[in-house]
Amino acid sequence: MRAVPVRSICYYGTLLDIEQDEARLKGPTMTEQGTRQGRFFYGWWIVAGGFLIMATCYTIFVNCIPLFQAHIVEDLGITMGAFNTGVSLCTVVAIFASLAFGALVDKVSARVLGGVTVITTSVVLVLFSFITEIWQLYALCVVAGMVVVAGTRLLASVLTANWFTLKRGLAVSIALSGSGFGGVLLSPLTSTIIVNWGWRPAFLVLATIAACAALPIALVAFRNRPADKGLVPYGSGETEKVRPDRSPDVPVTVSVGWKVLRTNSGFWLLILGFVAMGIVNGAVITNSVSNMTSVTLNGHEVVTGGHDAIWAGYVWSLYLGVVIVAKIALGAIYDRFGLRFGTVVGTVACAVAAVALCFPQSDVAPLVAAVAFGFGTCMGTVSPPVMVVKEYGKKDLGLVTGIVTAFELFGAAVGAVVSGVFFDAFLSFVPAWIMALAASLVMGVTLLASVPAARNLVDRRIAAGAPQLDAEGFEVAPVENAPIEIVPGA
Residue 3 pLDDT: 41
Question: Residue 17 — very low, low, confident or very high, per pLDDT cuts 50/70/90?
Answer: very low
Write out pLDDT tens, residues 306-317: 888 888 888 988
Judged against a pLDDT cut of 80, whether residue 485 lies above it is answered with no
Write out pLDDT tens, residues 91-117: 788 777 777 776 777 788 888 988 999
Hey, where are the domains in the chain?
A: 42-229+250-476
Question: Residue 199 — very low, low, confident or very high, per pLDDT cuts 50/70/90?
Answer: very high
Residue 209 pLDDT: 95
How many whole angstroms separate alpha carbon 154 and alpha carbon 13? Answer: 52
- Over residues 128-134, mean pLDDT: 93
* Residue pair 107/96 in contact by the 8 Å Cβ criterion: no
Give the 3-state secondary structure of 302-340.
Answer: EECCCCCHHHHHHHHHHHHHHHHHHHHHHHHHHHHHCHH
Q: State residue 255 phi and psi, 5-degree precision.
A: -70, 125
Judged against a pLDDT cut of 90, whether residue 187 lies above it is answered with no
Judged against a pLDDT cut of 90, whether residue 336 lies above it is answered with no
* 265-292 vs 365-376: helix crossing angle, rounded to 10: 150
Residue 483 pLDDT: 47
pLDDT-wise least confident of 101-105, 239-243, 427-431: 239-243
pLDDT-wise least confident of 206-220, 221-235, 242-256, 412-426: 242-256
What is the percentage of the chain residues whose pLDDT exceeds 90? Answer: 30
Residue 403 pLDDT: 86
Q: What DSSP string describes 436-454?
A: HHHHHHHHHHHHHHHHHHH
- Over residues 352-358, mean pLDDT: 96
Question: pTM for the complete prediction?
Answer: 0.70
Residue 363 pLDDT: 92
Question: Residue 121 — very low, low, confident or very high, per pLDDT cuts 50/70/90?
Answer: very high
* Residue pair 191/74 in contact by the 8 Å Cβ criterion: no
Residue 473 pLDDT: 65
Judged against a pLDDT cut of 50, whether residue 5 lies above it is answered with no
- Over residues 197-205, mean pLDDT: 94
Judged against a pLDDT cut of 50, whether residue 383 lies above it is answered with yes
Residue 20 pLDDT: 41
HSE (CB half, 13 Å, CA atoms) of 202? 24
Judged against a pLDDT cut of 70, whether residue 11 lies above it is answered with no
Residue 487 pLDDT: 45
Residue 169 pLDDT: 72
Of residues 329, 394, 327, the one with CA closest to residue 175: 327
Cα–Cα separations (whole angstroms), residue 61 to 68, 179, 182, 210:
11, 10, 12, 11
> What is the CATH code of the structural domain delimited by 42-229+250-476?
1.20.1250.20
Residue 237 pLDDT: 61
Q: What DSSP string describes 236-259?
A: TT------TT--PPPP--B--HHH
- Over residues 319-328, mean pLDDT: 83
- Over residues 456-465, mean pLDDT: 86
- Over residues 145-164, mean pLDDT: 82
What is the percentage of the chain residues whose pLDDT exceeds 70? Answer: 86
How many whole angstroms separate alpha carbon 227 and alpha carbon 354? Answer: 44
What 3-state DSSP class applies to 280? helix
Question: Residue 128 — very low, low, confident or very high, per pLDDT cuts 50/70/90?
Answer: very high
Judged against a pLDDT cut of 50, whether residue 457 lies above it is answered with yes
How many whole angstroms separate alpha carbon 282 and alpha carbon 416? Answer: 5
Question: Residue 267 — very low, low, confident or very high, per pLDDT cuts 50/70/90?
Answer: very high
Specify the DSSP class assigned to residue 228.
G
